[in-house]
Amino acid sequence: MRIVELQQVDAEPVQMEGARGARVRVLIGQEHGAPGFTMRLFELEPGGHTPRHHHAHEHEIIVESGSGTLLTAETEHPLAPGTVALVGPDEEHQFRAGEEGMRFFCLVPHAGHR
């Protein structure tokens, strides 16, 4: 079992090329005894973004605060608090924060956590 306050987990810069103003907190992961999934909290500064990329695993997100856009190969989807999205395997995507920044929770299978 793991019980922790968000602020007790360090926010680390996203280390992927193409990320800007993006930090991540690994809240629950394999290192904490979770059998299948890693839960992360991404924090994007105003105008910040994750890299445009794709990977073999899915991930599920829910926006906690702020606003932004989920860009895919085909379109742009607005994001606001309470928005839930599924990014499928091999689907090109990028998260971009608006003027106020954005925080979102992201679940990935352990194989997708680096």
How many C-beta neighbours within 10 Å does residue 73 have? 9
What pLDDT, on the 0 to 100 scale, is given for residue 110? 82
Helix (H, G, I), strand (E, B) or coil at 55: coil
Per-position pLDDT tens, the chain of length 114:
999 999 999 999 999 999 999 999 999 999 999 999 999 999 999 999 999 999 899 999 999 999 999 999 999 999 999 999 999 999 999 999 999 999 999 999 987 555
Helix (H, G, I), strand (E, B) or coil at 30: helix
In sequence order, the β-bridge partners of residue 89 are none
Q: What CA–CA distance (Å, rounded) separates 10 from 3? A: 15
Q: What CA–CA distance (Å, rounded) separates 27 from 15? A: 17
Evaluate if pTM is beyond 0.85.
yes
Q: How far is CA 54 from the centre of its chain?
A: 13
Domains and CATH numbers, the chain: 22-97 (2.60.120.10)
Instruction: Give 31's contacts (C-beta < 8 A, 6+ positions apart).
Output: none
What pLDDT, on the 0 to 100 scale, is given for residue 113? 59
In contact, 35 and 67? CB cutoff 8 Å? no
